[in-house]
Amino acid sequence: MNKETVLIVGGSSGMGLELARSLLADGSAVVIAGRSSERLAQARAALAAVGDVRMVAADIAHEDDVIRLFAECGRLDHIVSTAADIEGAYELLPDLELAAARRVFDSKFFGPWLLAKHGSSRLAPHGSITFTSGIAAYRPAPRGSVVAGVNGALASLAYALAVELAPIRVNVVSPGWVDTPIWQHVAGDEAPARLDAMAQKLPVGRIGRPGDIADGIRFLMRNGFATGSVLHLDGGHRLV
């Protein structure tokens, strides 16, 4: 039986890296993609003890890069996107620059849309596509208008593509606050204190870990009855 092959865009850090690690441990073949060749090489070295990954440097905001990415990947069973460029996005509306807002949508909405456009034909009939949205769509806060908007849009995109691309399954995992490097962009030196404060508010009593989200993505990938679904992994944040 052939190994399943999984493409993880954003696989060089955080949730994507943890997903790559867990899939390699399962015996899957894994391709990680991202904009930085250096970060991809670091990730590959960090995963070497578990297995060998292929890496492709590509910016999914650019259609030519996406076309080249799939040409290098070949046949796939699953596509996962955890990528997001949120630099400059967390600002009050009067201070939010259009260029920063467009980067968010390019990386987190149009990028996944391009992955579906060019990757669906590479997928096996039992395959899946999984996008990553987030709690901001459901518990928006000041400074987060663009992130809230793109996360909500991803859910609607998945609903539409689950119908159009069937029998390929299309789903979304929606994390809450997870301890990943992206928090340095969001909160800088205040990140540990903000994460600790949220942990005390959540019903589960802690912040999410990358492995929590990786487990959810694996569920969506492998459950053949899940499509057009949003899996909320937020520690109960929507309830408090």
Percentage with pLDDT > 70 across the chain: 97
Identify each DSSP E strand in 19-168 by its residue range: 29-34, 54-57, 76-81, 123-132
111-119 and 145-164 helices, crossing angle to 10°: 20
Question: How far is Cα 68 from Cα 56, in angstroms, rounded to an integer?
Answer: 9
Local confidence pLDDT in tens for the 240 residues of the chain: 568 999 999 999 999 999 999 999 999 999 999 999 999 999 999 999 999 999 999 999 999 999 999 999 999 999 999 999 988 899 999 999 999 999 999 999 999 999 999 999 999 999 999 999 999 999 999 999 999 999 999 999 999 999 999 999 999 999 999 988 776 666 667 888 889 999 999 999 999 999 999 999 999 999 999 999 999 999 999 999
Q: Which amino acid appears at position 77 of this protein?
A: D
- Tokens representing 86? 């949120």
CB 194 within 8 A of CB 227: no
Q: Against a cut of 0.85, is the pTM above it?
A: yes
Task: Tell me the CATH number of domain 5-177+211-239, given options 3.40.50.300, 3.40.50.720, 1.10.630.10, 3.40.640.10.
Answer: 3.40.50.720
User: CA 57 → CA 41, 42, 96, 168, 171, distances in Å?
Assistant: 10, 13, 29, 25, 25
Q: How many residues does the chain have?
A: 240
Closest CA to 117 of 171, 184, 164: 164
Which H or E run includes 18?
A: helix 14-26
